[in-house]
Amino acid sequence: MKILQLCKKFPYPLKDGESIAVTYLSKALVNQGCEVTLLSMNTSKHYTSMESLPEDYDHYKNIYQTSLDNAIKPHKAFLNLFTRDSYHVSRFVSSDFKAQLIEVLKSESFDVVQLETLYLTPYIETIKEHSNAIIAMRSHNIEFEIWERITSNTRFLPKKWYLKHLTDKLKKYELERLNDYDYLVAVSDRDLKKFKQLGYKNGAMASPIGLELKNYVTISKKSSNAICFIGALDWRPNREGLDWFIANVWPELSKEQPDLKFHIAGRNTPADLLNLNIKNIVVHGEVNDAIDFISQHNIMIVPLFSGSGMRVKILEGMALRKTIVTTSLGKEGIDAEHQKELLIADDPQTFKNAIIMALHDQNMRENIGKSAQQFVSEYYDHATIAARLIEKYKQLISTPYQKH
């Protein structure tokens, strides 16, 4: 089976959920006999030098990439107020990417063209014009839902109005394009149900993000009196949740646990966080090895109040036997149970108490960590997930049906 995978940013290095989701699935597809070609935008926000790719990043048959300046420009954002276009989506419309896509589609035929996220939908017409491949949308989340939640949590009224305006246009776009692809691959049963409620009518399946579990080797815990946070800090929901924790949980937590240290790591850490001067909070910036960073701490916090889809960093922490303290929304899309595979807390007092309980109850930490690792092994192995997706693609290819 020949698959063309389209991405809105280059899926390396593996320091954010989207890159992990794209790379682990593509590797698993190749390991099970598929031939996968990558065509990716290489954005100014997340630029990757091709010289930086390691030798073992060799699973793709071919890699094509086009540069794209997707930086938010104030004048364009202002002018967008007077158009019907979604500013979120229009930042990923590129004539160079379209030209490269046409060239790739003309050079060989594919069985499946897999779009990684909504932001590739502007190219559906081009794909239909130059290919008979099945067009599959792998939706990492419900995009407008993220921004609805961010808008809801915004207090500054002018900013709230502006975000609502952008979100309404994104929602309109997402719903208008909902049935333009042949098959939907949602990352959770919850998202799949939501898409159908919104009006999706074509074929679909839930296929979660998987991990290459051999990479998650449990090592001895190095710091028993520390907690950690790791996540891309240019992704607004991560920053929003971290700010909430520092402002609302940490002051009381640090009073009750004066020797406790809080370690923060993340890609594109902003200057105000790097210069944060709060006792016992250590800001590392971007770390070379996320798995090693997580491994050094017993407890990992994931305070999220917006976002959608599923959080890969939670899966990574669980695979490493860590006790995860997160919110109900942070757990969304992951069918883990409170006090069995992780801890859920939605307000400052409960969040603080969950951390303190985990710090002082070693037996509970070990039981949760063991259950979490077993849970990820059973449900989130990338090879098993890829096998199910391949089987579905084979059925679609072999069964005559009306495409497009």
Q: Is the dihedral of CA 108, 109, 115, 120 positive or negative?
A: positive
pLDDT attached to residue 402: 47
For 10, counting Cβ atoms within 10 Å of its Cβ (0-12 exposed, 13-18 middle, 19+ buried), the class is buried
pLDDT attached to residue 223: 60
pLDDT attached to residue 45: 86
Q: Which residue has the tokens 């007077």?
A: 82
Architecture per CATH, domain 2-210+381-398, reads as 3-Layer(aba) Sandwich (3.40)
Give per-residue pLDDT as tens, 234-253.
889 999 999 999 999 999 99
Closest CA to 322 of 262, 381, 365, 266: 365
| 157, 162, 168, 170 alpha-carbon torsion, rounded to 10° | -140
Q: What is the 3-state secondary structure (H, E, C) of the chain?
A: CEEEEEECCCCCCCCCHHHHHHHHHHHHHHHCCCEEEEEEEEECCCCCCHHHCCCCCCCCCCEEEEEECCCCCHHHHHHHHHCCCCHHHHCCCCHHHHHHHHHHHHHCCCCEEEEECHHHHHHHHHHHHHCCCEEEEEECCCHHHHHHHHHHHCCCHHHHHHHHHHHHHHHHHHHHCCCCCCEEEECCHHHHHHHHHCCCCCEEEECCCCECHHHCCCCCCCEEEEEEEECCCCCHHHHHHHHHHHHHCHHHHHHHCCCCEEEEECCCCCHHHHCCCCCCEEEEECCCCHHHHHHCEEEEEECCCCCCCCCHHHHHHHHCCCEEEECHHHHCCCCCCECCCEEECCCHHHHHHHHHHHHHCHHHHHHHHHHHHHHHHHHCEHHHHHHHHHHHHHHHHHCCCCCC
Note whether 60 and 3 are within 8 A (CB). Answer: no
Please state the rounded mean pLDDT for residues 134-139.
Answer: 97
How far apart, in whole angstroms, are the C-alpha atoms of residue 147 and residue 152? 8
Reported as a pLDDT band with limits 50, 70 and 90, residue 361 is very high
pLDDT attached to residue 80: 73
Give per-residue pLDDT as tens, 182-216.
999 999 999 999 999 999 999 999 999 999 999 99
Please state the rounded mean pLDDT for residues 319-337.
Answer: 95
Please state the rounded mean pLDDT for residues 274-287.
Answer: 95
Between β-strands 112-116 and 203-206, what pairing exists: parallel, antiparallel or unpaired?
Answer: unpaired
Domain spans in the chain, listed from the N-terminal domain onward? 2-210+381-398, 213-379
Please state the rounded mean pLDDT for residues 41-56.
Answer: 92
Domains 2-210+381-398 and 213-379 in one fold? yes
How far apart, in whole angstroms, are the C-alpha atoms of residue 236 and residue 45? 14
pLDDT at 263 over 70: yes
pLDDT attached to residue 309: 77
Q: Which residues contact 116 (CB under 8 A, 6 or more apart)?
A: 5, 6, 7, 8, 18, 21, 22, 138, 140
CA distances from residue 379 to 176, 234, 239, 312, 397 in whole angstroms, order as listed: 33, 29, 29, 13, 26
Give per-residue pLDDT as tens, 76-95.
766 677 777 898 999 999 99
Instruction: Name the packing angle between helices 312-319 and 17-31 (round to 10°).
Output: 70
Give per-residue pLDDT as tens, 57-75.
999 999 999 999 987 777 6
pLDDT at 179 over 60: yes
pLDDT attached to residue 400: 61
pLDDT attached to residue 220: 59
Architecture per CATH, domain 213-379, reads as 3-Layer(aba) Sandwich (3.40)
Angle CA 389–324–29, to nearest 5? 15
Note whether 82 and 166 are within 8 A (CB). Answer: no
pTM: 0.89
Across the chain, mean pLDDT equals 93
Reported as a pLDDT band with limits 50, 70 and 90, residue 404 is very low
Give per-residue pLDDT as tens, 363-384.
999 999 999 999 999 999 999 9
pLDDT attached to residue 78: 66
> In the chain, pLDDT over 90 holds for what percent of residues?
84
